[in-house]
Structure 1
Amino acid sequence: MPCTQVVRYISRCTIKPQRHVLEEEPSSIELTPWDLAMLSTHYIQKGLLFYKEKEQKEKEPIVDQLKHSLSRVLVHFFPLAGRLVTKKHSSSSSSSFVFIDCNGQGVEFIHAMAENVTVDNILGPIDMTHVVKSFFALDEAVSHDGHSFPLLVVQLTELVDGVFVGCSFNHVVGDGTSFWHFFHMWSEISRTKGLKPCDQISRPPIIQRWFLPHMDKTLISIIPFTNPQEFIERYTPPLPLKEKIFHFSQKSMAILKKKANENYKKEKISSFQALCAHVWRAITRSRDLPVDQKTSCSLAINNRIRLDPPLSSDYFGNCIQAIIVTTTVGELLSRDVAWAAEELHRRVVEHTDGVVRGALESWIKDPYVYHTSDFDGCSVMVGGSPRFDMYGNEFGWGKAMGARSGSANKFDGKVSSYPGVEGGGSVDLEMCLSPGVMNVLESDQEFMGLVSTI
């Protein structure tokens, strides 16, 4: 493959927690329905791009700095150093019990070089998707592979004038909130350069899983399968996808919010909900679908703040769910962006503690695992969040210049949201579409009129 020729691998090693996990920490972790539903999804692949420091010669080499700080942060995020384990359930020959064995086997660290690639190459207008994909490990691995693969693989790729820190993070272990929590604490330890004690970080993770109070957690962690072939899907898009990042400035976000709230005295619809409505309508226009075709917009939503009482943002695990608005192409395109934004807003407001708990109850009665093939080519799925503090991850080399992702969990209609690098409420959207649809979208004046150059 072309992307493998860009990177030259220097070394691979296993990084283990710097010291043994305390005795009071669990040796195994039961999984919740939110976790188990991710068994067939790819690893989360996200990373940050930095410029190299000019005076690096006088400092600890970056690769040594990252290895050392990684071993220290794993003391706190010790489940990442374990492996998944499945055992047949004692009372049912057709069910399995899946959990994380916190055995301290460690995570993998890869050091690589991209000797002809610069930071500007990655950030520039030329499509460098194939290059960025080579900055991540475990391509095509699904989370169930965490039975034999590490639950975390870090790849440090040195560029001509920069470095890219990419993580492949098992989705059963945690969601995007957990991913960036880990990344943030790792960078915090790295930039302090050992000045703080190993056991001190500003936001210790809450490792203990949350379960419905009246449920036996050993029964909740069961899936009605014994053979992985019954529920694991190895998904690849049927056609090549085109990926592109579109930037929406603070000004563009304000314009969208104003449009979405024209009928309200108080601005109740958020700028992000308005942006999702704008994107949904634009992609649907570009697809040129029949007016009676069903189309939906799904938003990945954080359940932590919707539970009563709410879970801490430091809860380390999966705690997400999708809210879905479905209509016909004709209705979506015959109405304005305010209508679509209000439909999304209404569904978000309706996603209450009762709805979250009800969905968990339903899963326990009828367990399922997410399959990427379930997403059709007529809809849009928005993941990620512009609220993730990606650019607050500072390893001691200055602020990151960009956030990028690998090939994982991508399909026609997948949209991933990031905060804009300049802050101020700006948003970057990474969009995956068929090449023909992407070309039409880039010629859509209504859509591109709000897209800015970074």
Structure 2
Amino acid sequence: MPEASIRVVSSTTIHLSNKLERSGWELTAWDVAMLSAHYIQKGLLFPKPPMPFDAVSQRLQTSLSHCLLHFPFLSGRFATDPETTTFVDCNDAGALFVVAKADELHVSDLVNAVDVPAIVRSFFLMDGAINFDGYSLPLVAVQVTELEDGVFVGCSFNHAMGDGESFWHFFNSWSELSAGHPSITRPPLTERPQIHNELGPVRYLPSEDHMERFKTPVLRERIFHFSAQAVARIKAKANEQSKLGKGEISSLQALSALMWRSITRARNLPSGQTTGCRLAAGYRKRLDPPLPREYFGNCIRAILTEAKAGELLGQDLGWAAQALHETVSRQTGDTAREHLEGLIKNPHVYHLSWFDPNSIMVGSSPRFEMYGSDFGWGKGLAVLSGSAHKFDGKISAFPGKDVGGNVDLEVCLFPHYMAALESDEEFLDALLPSH
């Protein structure tokens, strides 16, 4: 790839297209727990639009202003009620919109690269910011970067405002308005769930002393593409080898088991070393009553499955997948309530440094509608992310670009572990579309 550079062309604060009555928006215990984490940084690479880039930029700014009317809290800033906790002051302080130009950078430089190029991090704003910074920084910051033959739309989104489901709900709603739809297809549900009304608000006054400024280490990042045929084969193998009494191991559970085993082997852990696999489990469907996908906010928890390295590698793929499946199956409305009660009784914020370096963490989901976004000039070519929440062992699952069950896994590892993974026989065999 040639030596590319990014230069900022303009920076604008985007306000609501119409003034709304100023009010507050309360954060839940699940939201408050995210205050020390990074902003979500995700975006889409698009082909070159059939219109001047200035027109593209103006369309995106106008549609973002209209979209914020449906999500007005995203145009506010955090504030503190001394009697309770952090909330959003819907004061329309605005979202940040930056236009940038990537000189000498082409779409092929990104989609054909083995490792995710380091320049991708420059496609996102709020690098290094944590959600607690939302007292003074925008809760949403967009950077639209013009490539020589394409456009990248990168969005940095305060994770205390919502999880991945909420992020893509907002992103896709914005794309609908940009493409000319008169309104959004799925208005957000902002009423707090019944469980929060029953348990009451979290009483926690955050301060900088409670926060951690996590610095992303030097990593290699690769996106591994699993075809629909490969995913089906891995899932079938896991189900055939497992001893499940009921239910079925999902595609993501099977892929997570594969990565847990392969990365544990790449790390060459002692047989007696405990290793874990954390999965980001969504609670919307598990609550009683369940919540629709349109619920806006955080409704997730990282759930842990552990094993000794020797046991994990001494058994087959089905054993590991079954262990993950059983952990997921134990997540119910009751466990969600128990977890939330714990956060209310003992409020705290998650620190990325708590992550076990002998484990892996699988976040995001291939079920998110990432390629559903069309801003008016065609579907996206690739999903890419910034430096947020990246550490050795972090994996993000994305749907493949082509419909039909393809899955992409963005894998972050220390360079020597990535080199070992790239020669792991079980992993390489699983990547093959068919035998």
TM-score, structure 2 normalization: 0.95
Report the equivalent of 1:56: 51
**How much does 1:236 deviate?**
1.4
> How far, CA to CA, are the matches of 2:334 and 2:34 in structure 1?
22
Does the C-alpha gap of structure 1 residues 60 and 235 become closer, same or farther in structure 2, counting only changes over 3 Å? closer
> How far, CA to CA, are the matches of 1:60 and 1:160 in structure 2?
14
Report the equivalent of 1:34: 30
SS in 2 for 1:10: strand
Give the partner amino acid of 2:154.
G
**Structure 1 contact 287–437 (Cα < 8 Å) conserved:** yes
1:162-195 Cα deviation digits (max 9, x unpaired):
0000000000111100000001110111111xx6
Report the equivalent of 1:174: 162
Matched, 1:145 2:138: no
Does the C-alpha gap of structure 1 residues 210 and 141 become closer, same or farther in structure 2, counting only changes over 3 Å? same
Identity %: 49
**How much does 1:258 deviate?**
0.8
Report the equivalent of 1:235: 214
**Structure 1 contact 261–267 (Cα < 8 Å) conserved:** no
Report the equivalent of 2:226: 248
Give the partner amino acid of 2:141.
V
> How far, CA to CA, are the matches of 1:420 and 1:213 in structure 2?
35
Give the partner amino acid of 2:214.
Y
**Structure 1 contact 99–221 (Cα < 8 Å) conserved:** no
Give the partner amino acid of 1:166.
G
Does the C-alpha gap of structure 1 residues 437 and 216 become closer, same or farther in structure 2, counting only changes over 3 Å? closer
TM-score, structure 1 normalization: 0.91
Structure 1 residue aligned with 2:366, among 383, 386, 395? 386
Q: Which stretches in structure 2 are left out of the alignment for 5+ residues?
A: none
Does the C-alpha gap of structure 1 residues 285 and 419 become closer, same or farther in structure 2, counting only changes over 3 Å? same
1:187-214 Cα deviation digits (max 9, x unpaired):
111111xx62xxx321000122325256
Give the partner amino acid of 1:322.
A
Report the equivalent of 1:371: 351
**Structure 1 contact 260–341 (Cα < 8 Å) conserved:** yes
**What is the Cα-based RMSD across aligned positions, in Å?**
1.9
Structure 2 residue aligned with 1:136, among 124, 134, 138? 124
Report the equivalent of 1:205: 188
1:53-452 equivalences in 2 (<5 Å): 53=49, 55-57=50-52, 61-89=55-83, 97-192=85-180, 196=182, 200-210=183-193, 212=195, 215=198, 217=200, 220-223=201-204, 225=205, 227-229=207-209, 231-237=210-216, 239-262=217-240, 263=243, 268-451=248-431
Give the partner amino acid of 1:250.
A
Matched, 1:46 2:42: yes
**Structure 1 contact 418–427 (Cα < 8 Å) conserved:** yes
> How far, CA to CA, are the matches of 1:350 and 1:215 in structure 2?
23
> How far, CA to CA, are the matches of 1:214 and 1:184 in structure 2?
29
**Structure 2 contact 102–146 (Cα < 8 Å) conserved:** yes
**Structure 2 contact 30–343 (Cα < 8 Å) conserved:** no
SS in 2 for 1:261: helix
Does the C-alpha gap of structure 1 residues 344 and 444 become closer, same or farther in structure 2, counting only changes over 3 Å? same
**Structure 1 contact 205–315 (Cα < 8 Å) conserved:** yes
**How much does 1:422 deviate?**
1.1
> How far, CA to CA, are the matches of 1:56 and 1:271 in structure 2?
40
**Structure 2 contact 70–187 (Cα < 8 Å) conserved:** yes
Does the C-alpha gap of structure 1 residues 213 and 236 become closer, same or farther in structure 2, counting only changes over 3 Å? closer
- Count of paired positions: 430
Give the partner amino acid of 2:190.
I
SS in 2 for 1:66: helix
1:35-55 Cα deviation digits (max 9, x unpaired):
0000000000000000013x3
> How far, CA to CA, are the matches of 1:122 and 1:236 in structure 2?
24
Give the partner amino acid of 1:37.
A
SS in 1 for 2:87: strand
Does the C-alpha gap of structure 1 residues 43 and 213 become closer, same or farther in structure 2, counting only changes over 3 Å? closer
> How far, CA to CA, are the matches of 1:31 and 1:226 in structure 2?
12
**Structure 1 contact 46–405 (Cα < 8 Å) conserved:** yes
> How far, CA to CA, are the matches of 2:397 and 2:421 in structure 1?
18
Q: Which stretches in structure 1 are left out of the alignment for 5+ residues?
A: 90-95
Give the partner amino acid of 1:77.
F
> How far, CA to CA, are the matches of 1:188 and 1:142 in structure 2?
29
